[in-house]
Structure 1
Amino acid sequence: MSSIGNIQGVSNVNIQSMDLETALMMVQQQRTQLLDAQLNSQIQEVQNRNGQISKLNDVLAGLNAANAMFAGDAKPDAKLGDTKGWKDESVNGAYPTERSMNTAMINAGINLGLTSAADGALTNTKNANGSEVRIDGGIRGMTTKSQVDAAIAKVKGQIDSLGNSQQMDMLRLQSLTNKRNEAFDVMTNFVKKMQESRSSIIGNMR
Structure 2
Amino acid sequence: MVGAANASQPSLGGVGLESSSGVRGADLVGADQETAMLSVQGERARLLDKQVETQIQELRALNRRLELLNIVQAGLKAVQAQFNAGAKYDKEWDDASGGWSYRQADRINRAAAEAGINLGFASDSNTWRLFGHMGDMKDFARAYLPSEQAHLLEQWRDKADLRGHLLAAQLVDRMAGHDGFMTPDYPGQTLNRCPGGIRYDSEYGELRKAVTRVQGAIDEASNLQQDQLLRLQALMNRRNESADMLTNYIRKMQDSRMAISEKIRGT
| TM-score bracket for the superposition, by shorter chain length | 0.7 to 0.9
Number of equivalenced pairs: 197
> Which residue number in structure 1 is paired with residue 209 of structure 2?
150
Q: Using the TM superposition, give the Cα deviation of residue 85 of structure 1 relative to its aligned residue in structure 2, in angstroms.
A: 1.6
Over the matched positions of the two proteins, sequence identity in percent amounts to 38
Q: Normalization by structure 2: what TM-score?
A: 0.68
CA 1:66–1:186 in structure 2 vs 1: closer, same or farther (change >3 Å)? Answer: same
> Which residue number in structure 1 is paired with residue 51 of structure 2?
38
Measure, in 1, the Cα distance between the counterparts of 2:13 and 2:204: 62
Measure, in 1, the Cα distance between the counterparts of 2:46 and 2:257: 26
Q: Normalization by structure 1: what TM-score?
A: 0.87
Q: How does 1:118-157 map to 2 (within 5 A)?
A: 118=125, 119=177, 120-124=179-183, 126=185, 131-157=190-216
> Which residue number in structure 2 is paired with residue 8 of structure 1?
16
Residue in structure 1 matching 2:241, options 175, 182, 196: 182
Once the two structures are superposed, what CA deviation does each residue of 1:52-86 show, in whole Å capped at 9, x if it has no partner? Answer: 00011111111011101101111222221211221
Q: Is 1:101 aligned to 2:114, yes or no? A: no
Pairwise CA RMSD: 2.1
Q: How does 1:80-119 map to 2 (within 5 A)?
A: 80-86=93-99, 89=101, 95-118=102-125, 119=177
Once the two structures are superposed, what CA deviation does each residue of 1:164-192 show, in whole Å capped at 9, x if it has no partner? Answer: 01111011101000000000000000000
Unaligned runs of 5+ in 2: 1-10, 126-176
CA 1:16–1:135 in structure 2 vs 1: closer, same or farther (change >3 Å)? Answer: closer
Q: Secondary structure at the match of 2:51?
A: helix
CA 1:5–1:140 in structure 2 vs 1: closer, same or farther (change >3 Å)? Answer: closer
Q: Secondary structure at the match of 1:126?
A: coil
Q: Secondary structure at the match of 1:113?
A: coil
Unaligned runs of 5+ in 1: 90-94
One-letter identity of the residue aligned with 2:117? I
